[in-house]
Structure 1
Amino acid sequence: MPNDFNQQVIEEFRANSGEVGGHFEGARLLLLTTTGARSGERHTTPVGYYHDGDGTVLVIASAGGAPKHPDWFHNLVAHPHVTVETGVFTYDAKAEVLRGGARDAAFARAVEADSGWAEYQARTSRVIPVVALHEIASGGPPNVNASSMSEYVKAIHDAFRRELTLIRGEFDQAGSTLGAQPRINCLTFCQGLHNHHTGEDIAMFPFLADRHPELEPALDRLREEHERIAVLIAELQQVIGMDSADTEHVRAEVERLTTALEAHLTYEEEQLIPVLDVPNESVHREADPTR
């Protein structure tokens, strides 16, 4: 039976490129579509997630500490091939239920980030499962939830802005020692931003330069900004990688990156979106083959 609350969240999520309010406001949320263990029908559920590096994300089958696993967990155990929607990207993934030490370490990391998970575990005698969702390579450009290239660019930029806001908020709430999950979140953000800029440099910018020579000065500036941002990313990664990483030091590096990136994204949108919106322009999604 459809869940009215979930359906409202799903509709809001899809209408706003993954951004929702209410109970899930400010949370990392994805839509997980599974195949019914008995019915064989497709079911979509909004679930919170954690980054796990290398494009993998973790979801926790807590069901609020209920005595039974949620239906979506039973579904993916029976049919591990699932679909993930991030608000910007949609991709197929293979679900892996973590076992033993891998599960315990992932759950401990989640508890460190949000003590509510420990409260859920205390309510039930079952061991709350942790599931890794491994993206299945498609061999082509990413499936982006946008109807035009300008929407595509803006959606990706806004996703970076939202994630950076979440990361900064996590550091504001952290103590003097940097936790494991904020480290992973930050490193995942850095890798995603690097991939995005690489895609622009090798595909979208040359495409635009060929068709709009008047954009060359702006594109040159954007390329130079990519190089400066790459330096900031490397410095942030170096600080995060230190065992004795101080939260204030990391926060300062994140603020430097935030300032540079926001100025860069704003300038890029001002210069490129008007061109991308010109009628009859054909700018293919291959312009950003990485993420």
Structure 2
Amino acid sequence: MPHPVQNFNQRIIDEFRANHGQVGGPFEGGRLILLTTTGARTGAPHTTPVGYLPDGGDRILVIASAGGSPRHPDWYRNLLAHPHVTVENGVFTYEAKAVVLAGEERDRAFARAVESDRGWAGYQEKTDRVLPVIALHEIARPGPPNINASSPAEAIRLVHDAFRRELALIRREMESGTTTLGAQLRVNCLTFCQGLHNHHTGEDTVMFPFLADRHPEAAPALDRLRAEHEHIATLVAELRKTLADPDLDTVRGEVDRLTSELEAHLTYEEAQLFPLLGGV
């Protein structure tokens, strides 16, 4: 008979995959991935829902808390034996290399986690083991990313919705009652900015030329979208500047401005591109 924890995890996994990363219950509104590891003893794949922290660049962080259990979770023991893992974030699926952080690097990362959510400190207080912090480094692969969509239009919608959710989460974090801009919140903002830049660069250099070649009548809309990308890049640059400022109200104002402008851009882009790509 399946263990109750296995049943719970499988329900979360099924909901996550069915709803492209959105789930209810204890994970609702949080940052969640599905982490697939290779069994240390069996060699079989095991998938587990795990909360994560943005860390900029090509990596994210996960913490082997097991709710403060005295034992490391199975997925952690698995990746120690087999550090090549698979990550699903609801939009993209990619291979990654797991690296356990050590020393000051681990302590700084864990301090950021605690600063953003005191629950991590509670887990640490419940156990004598030092909770491991693991960096998951995306392994670059040739060709387009592996996106969990059945059509180009759906792919755009899923990416756009992921940006919308992350911005909403960042705004909620800014309203959480703190009066200062925490280190992890800075990282969250910078990671979002980099992801948005990468997405727009891909559209400008790959998708828009493709569409322009096949749909010359779309040239005015594509020109407007390119101009909006430049405008949003300016807003992102302003946000980056304010992240060095300890004034949370200043940062909040820039995030609100970016949110408003980006939502208008995403809505217009969807209206213009979906018909060209065959809908969703």
Q: Once the 2 structures are TM-superposed, how far is the Cα of residue 20 of structure 1 from its aligned partner?
A: 0.8
Q: Deviations over 1:94-120 (max 9, x none)?
A: 001111111111111100000011111
Q: Once the 2 structures are TM-superposed, how far is the Cα of residue 175 of structure 1 from its aligned partner?
A: 2.0
Structure 2 counterpart of 1:267: 268
Q: Once the 2 structures are TM-superposed, how far is the Cα of residue 141 of structure 1 from its aligned partner?
A: 1.2
- Written as runs of structure 1 = structure 2, the 5 A alignment for 1:129-278 is 129-240=132-243, 242=244, 244-277=245-278
What amino acid sits opposite 2:39 in the alignment? G
Structure 2 counterpart of 1:75: 78
Question: Structure 2 CA distance, aligned partners of 1:278 and 1:175?
Answer: 42
Structure 2 counterpart of 1:108: 111
Verify the 8 A CA contact 1:93 1:134 in the aligned structure 2. yes
Verify the 8 A CA contact 1:32 1:84 in the aligned structure 2. yes
Which among 9, 16, 22 is matched to residue 19 of structure 2? 16
Question: Structure 1 CA distance, aligned partners of 2:125 and 2:46?
Answer: 28
Structure 2 counterpart of 1:288: none
Q: Once the 2 structures are TM-superposed, how far is the Cα of residue 196 of structure 1 from its aligned partner?
A: 0.4
Structure 2 counterpart of 1:96: 99
Question: Structure 2 CA distance, aligned partners of 1:192 and 1:19?
Answer: 19
What amino acid sits opposite 1:121 in the alignment? Q
TM-score, normalised to structure 1, is 0.93
Question: Structure 2 CA distance, aligned partners of 1:4 and 1:255?
Answer: 40
Question: Structure 2 CA distance, aligned partners of 1:144 and 1:57?
Answer: 18
Q: CA RMSD in A?
A: 1.2
What amino acid sits opposite 1:216 in the alignment? A
Question: Structure 1 CA distance, aligned partners of 2:279 and 2:52?
Answer: 37
Which among 42, 59, 81 is matched to residue 45 of structure 2? 42
Give the total of aligned pairs.
277
Q: Which runs of 4+ in 1 moved over 2 A?
A: none
Q: Deviations over 1:134-180 (max 9, x none)?
A: 01111221110011001100000000000001100111114221000
SS of aligned partner of 1:73: helix
What amino acid sits opposite 2:92 in the alignment? F
Q: Deviations over 1:180-220 (max 9, x none)?
A: 00000000000000110011011111111111111111111
Question: Structure 1 CA distance, aligned partners of 2:56 and 2:198?
Answer: 14
Which among 61, 72, 76 is matched to residue 58 of structure 1? 61
Does the C-alpha gap of structure 1 residues 278 and 178 become closer, same or farther in structure 2, counting only changes over 3 Å?
Answer: closer
Question: Structure 2 CA distance, aligned partners of 1:117 and 1:195?
Answer: 31
Structure 2 counterpart of 1:285: none
Verify the 8 A CA contact 1:174 1:247 in the aligned structure 2. no
5+ unaligned residues in a row in structure 2: which ranges? none
Q: Deviations over 1:28-73 (max 9, x none)?
A: 0000000000000000000000011112100000000011000000
Verify the 8 A CA contact 2:221 2:272 in the aligned structure 1. yes
Structure 2 counterpart of 1:287: none
SS of aligned partner of 1:143: coil
Question: Structure 1 CA distance, aligned partners of 2:203 and 2:56?
Answer: 22
What amino acid sits opposite 1:275 in the alignment? L
What amino acid sits opposite 1:273 in the alignment? F
Structure 2 counterpart of 1:117: 120
What amino acid sits opposite 1:140 in the alignment? G
5+ unaligned residues in a row in structure 1: which ranges? 280-291
Question: Structure 1 CA distance, aligned partners of 2:184 and 2:279?
Answer: 42
Question: Structure 2 CA distance, aligned partners of 1:216 and 1:134?
Answer: 38
What amino acid sits opposite 2:10 in the alignment? Q
Bigger mean CA deviation after superposition, 1-10 or 73-82: 1-10
Question: Structure 1 CA distance, aligned partners of 2:162 and 2:18?
Answer: 14
Question: Structure 2 CA distance, aligned partners of 1:66 and 1:177?
Answer: 32
Matched-pair identity in %: 68
